[in-house]
Amino acid sequence: MQSVSELLTAQCREALVAAFGPSFQETDPLLMPTNQPKFGDYQANVALSLAKPLKQAPRAIAAQIVDHLAVDHLSEAPTIAGPGFINFKLTPEFLAQQLQQLQQHPRLGIDSVSDPQKIIVDFSSPNIAKEMHVGHLRSTIIGDSIARVLEFLGHEVLRLNHVGDWGTQFGMLITYLREACPEALIQADAVDLGDLVTFYKRAKERFDRDEAFREAAREEVVKLQAGERDTLRAWTILCDQSRREFDKIYQRLDIKLQERGESFYNPLLPNLVELLRQQQLLVEDQGAQCVFLEGFQNKAGNSQPLIVQKSDGGYNYATTDLAALQYRIQDDGADRIIYVTDAGQANHFAQVFQVARRAKLIPDTVEVVHVPFGLVQGEDGKKLKTRSGETIRLRDLLDEAVERARADFLERLRTDDRQESEAFINQVAQVMGLGAVKYADLSQNRTSNYIFSYDKMLALQGNTAPYMIYAYVRVQGISRKGNIDLSNLRSQLSIVLTDETELILAKHLLQLQDTLKTVAQDLMPNRLCQYLFELSQKFNQFYDRCPVLSAEDSVKASRLLLCDLTARTIKLGLSLLGISVVERL
């Protein structure tokens, strides 16, 4: 379906052309929702911006546009207000007709895109032999939501988990384990992941202070890269073990993604360096193979290098990312590649993208984009560091969230003197707890930093997942109470919108498509959260003022329709955030 704003925009375009000629075909009418009800529902600001080129007064321009507007099938007569705004107020009849269409549309009015793209979303990406912590939560949840939205819109999405399963860290860890815990290297599950993390920290300490250890670790890396049998087996065991732990988390969070770690690209690295050499981008400096960057300077004011091959012959993660980029474009056939990582890597990606462009690895038709998010900070405003040991483990965080939701729900049951089955209580706790965690993260503009707080993350009131789930449950309550099968509402029922809250709700229901398109373009799930929160607010106001079941038949029918559309929209919207609902509370 065409959205209301698309319909109005199209009409404005036609009016512009009719009034001022074909050269205005591409002029954006600058249509947007009004910020105040007294100005109607939408406003077109184009008249003001045309004042200078047309050398006419904005209000006079607006008048000419209005003269050529044919919008009486959807709006009351447009008015010119203030310095030259054109205001539109949608008619109740039009809204009713649009709602009817929505009701019959299997995807709530959202058509699949006509030009599906192959899109890679690279997210989550924990490191092998480390535990997932709150820092991984943001990438995982934001990436998953972006993938869900793009999938729903009809794109072919490849969700890639670019796990850290290669490199110096393994040299350290394996070297350390050889002496501290050799059984971990030959036998699966000889130690658990928590112990591995401890070993990793100790290995890192040794690496930082012990020259001989450092040398041994490097040799181990060389063996790994050469595919030496012992080392490779140790590596495989470590990876398998970590993978099982990750999968538990992903299963719990209902996140699907395909693992393709750094090691996957390892065989491609020599060719990539060779390619850079052929492109004459490579410069040897102090034994390392470098590409000197444009626009990046070091302290001395000289051009900064991106090292693609170390002086010892090893490769860096920049090399891997370049190889991955090449593979994803040439072999996966990606049209758009999205990297969801913390903002601290902005420089890195800018550099990698620059070198890739200069090496002609990125055709003009392919979009590569870093989707950064702010750091997870402690209460002190400092970055939560893995090495500090104060990091909160992801699985503990999720446990805590579910436990709090459960305690809260039990308290409510006690207050209302209700009895419920254990299974039901568990389900509510699960949905509410995990929903709260995900929503807390997604509802923030991802670029801002995130000060970690259990209390804020797990709040169950206000702009939270439970608020929206509650609105959804209210609709299901009406359905149960009235014995009404909402999925079976008569499609030709008449709709009468009279109360202000009904009109406001109806208008908001019709904006889902605009919202999803924005999210797909800007990759900002918080816009969808904002939309759903406002929808729930508007529904609750409607619910407060407009009885449904006790209303007379014609009114009741259209109110049921509003309820059903609201519930379906909330359920769909939350699902695109990776959040599920319950049918009752």
Give, as ranges, the residues between 159 and 178 that touch RNA (CB under 7 A).
Answer: 164, 166-169
The answer to the question of residue 35 lying near RNA (CB under 7 A) is yes
Cα gap 73→135, rounded to integer Å: 51
Q: How many CB atoms are located within 10 Å of the residue 368 CB? A: 20
H/E stretch holding 4:
helix 4-20
Size of the site for RNA (CB under 7 A): 106
Phi and psi at 201, nearest 5°, equal: -60, -45
The answer to the question of residue 39 lying near RNA (CB under 7 A) is yes
Buried b (16+ CB within 10 A) or exposed e, 6-38: ebbbebbbbbbbbbbeeebeebebbbeebeeee
**Least Å distance between CB 584 and RNA?**
4
Applying CB under 7 A, among 1, 17, 19, 51 the residue interacting with RNA is 51
**Where does this chain touch RNA (CB under 7 A) — which range of 17-25, 36-44, 61-69, 572-580?**
36-44
309, 315 contact by CB (below 8 A): yes
The answer to the question of residue 53 lying near RNA (CB under 7 A) is no
**Least Å distance between CB 106 and RNA?**
27
Nearer to RNA, 366 or 413 (CB): 413
49, 30 contact by CB (below 8 A): yes
Nearer to RNA, 30 or 503 (CB): 30
The answer to the question of residue 33 lying near RNA (CB under 7 A) is no
Alpha helices per DSSP H over 279-345: 317-330
Nearer to RNA, 131 or 262 (CB): 262
Nearer to RNA, 244 or 545 (CB): 545
Give, as ranges, the residues between 287 and 326 that touch RNA (CB under 7 A).
Answer: 287-288, 290, 296-299, 301-302, 304-305, 307, 310-312, 314-317, 320
Cα gap 250→127, rounded to integer Å: 14
Q: How many CB atoms are located within 10 Å of the residue 448 CB? A: 12
**Least Å distance between CB 28 and RNA?**
7
Applying CB under 7 A, among 56, 511, 530, 575 the residue interacting with RNA is 530
Query: Hey, is 43 helix, strand or coil?
Result: strand
**Least Å distance between CB 460 and RNA?**
4
Pairing of strands 288-297, 118-122: unpaired
Nearer to RNA, 42 or 250 (CB): 42
**Least Å distance between CB 183 and RNA?**
26
Applying CB under 7 A, among 70, 186, 346, 407 the residue interacting with RNA is 346
Q: What is the 3-state secondary structure (H, E, C) of 51-118?
A: HHHHCCCHHHHHHHHHHHCCCCCCECCCEEECCCEEEECECHHHHHHHHHHHHHCCCCCCCCCCCCCE
**Least Å distance between CB 266 and RNA?**
11
Contacts with RNA, 439-478, as mask; x by CB under 7 A: -----xx-xxxxx----x--xxxxxx-xx--x--xx--xx
Q: How many CB atoms are located within 10 Å of the residue 412 CB? A: 13
DSSP state of 577: T
Scan for tokens 């959807």, then name that residue: 74
Give, as ranges, the residues between 363 and 392 that touch RNA (CB under 7 A).
Answer: 372, 374-375, 381-383
Contacts with RNA, 400-429, as mask; x by CB under 7 A: -----x--xx--x---------------x-
Alpha helices per DSSP H over 359-464: 394-415, 422-442, 454-457
